[in-house]
Amino acid sequence: MKTVLFVGAGRHQRRPIEHARARLRVVAVDRTERAPGLASADAAEVVEFTDVGAVVEVGHRHGVDGVLTVSADRAVPVAAAVAEELGLPGIGRATAHLMTHELEMRDMLAAAGVPQPRYARLRSESDVERALESVGLPAVLKPVDSGGQRAVFRIESADDLRGNAAEAISESPTGEAIVEAFVDGLELNGIAIARGGDVALGAEVGDDLALPQFSQPLAIRFFTAEPGPPPTGRVVSVGSLEPVLAAEGVVQADTYLDLGETIRPVRRDGDRRGYVIAIADDTDEARRRTDDAASLLLVEVEAGLAA
């Protein structure tokens, strides 16, 4: 059986790890011993995953055949570097860097003539006026190389940009942020599957894995403060998830709420403290079912506490 190394084993990696174990032996690394994915792996190591040398040592010791990460932008360059060090297939350090450093990615797209929103670099508050002259309003501010929707802001004025610049820059390992023209519209997600050529573990990717097997309307509702049902404040009790799982059409739900933590207004990925997914005959009904199910999770917060 082939062995794969997951770089990162947080809550977003747990289900992919469980899925991979149906076909592969899984080794996972994470800096936190309580990371949910570690308990789901065949072998778990508490390692700071940004330490390439330490992760490479784990890979050598377990004789891994492949390296990957899921839903962890900051781990992409690490996985690419570890694959190179272990002599395994991967996208390479250079490609990983371009795909996770938004400013350099946009520069590359601009050089190739690809249409995209106007953008500007931001390293300090002194860059605010120049950035707004280049980009205009409304705009979006975010770190160039972070993840998890950390420090992403919609900007409506110069004061907005000045007030949030420091946070966006601080969330960037390289100390840079990017300001982009805001473009209103639908967000579309795509999945690309490569078949043939140099496939990562050398196995053929058959139609059963690569092609859609069915079509099903569904909706997801995250457990967040407004527009979600949980109130803002310090959590003093969390009810059972069972009523949510038993609600009409619900196929999956989970929560990451801990006693004593503070539910805050939604600003980043980490403010989503769980989710519920429901299916139906159409998307409107699926959305209604997720809303109804989410309201069944009873969360009590400390009265009078500001978020």
| pLDDT band of 41, cuts 50, 70, 90 | very high
Q: Which domain holds residue 202?
A: 3-98+193-208
Q: Where are the alpha helices (H) located in the chain, listed in sequence order? A: 11-20, 36-40, 52-62, 76-86, 93-100, 102-111, 128-135, 158-170, 207-210, 242-245, 283-294
pLDDT tens digit sequence for 257-287: 888 888 888 776 678 889 999 999 999 999 9
Give phi and psi for 244, each to the nearest 5.
-65, -45
For residue 306, the model assigns a pLDDT of: 45
* pLDDT exceeds 70 at position 303: no
**Rounded Cα–Cα distance for residues 152 and 168 (Å):** 7
Tell whether 105 is covered by a domain.
no
What does the mean pLDDT of the chain come to?
Answer: 91
pLDDT tens digit sequence for 88-125: 999 999 999 999 999 999 999 999 999 999 999 999 98
For residue 307, the model assigns a pLDDT of: 40
Burial (0-12, 13-18, 19+ Cβ within 10 Å), 232: middle
Half-sphere exposure of 68 (CA within 13 A, CB side): 14
Together in a domain, 197 and 89 = yes
For residue 210, the model assigns a pLDDT of: 86
For residue 141, the model assigns a pLDDT of: 95
Domain count, the chain: 3
CATH (domain of 169) = 3.30.1490.20
Together in a domain, 80 and 137 = no
Alpha-carbon distance values, 232 to 93, 102, 129, 133, 301 (Å): 41, 32, 35, 37, 7
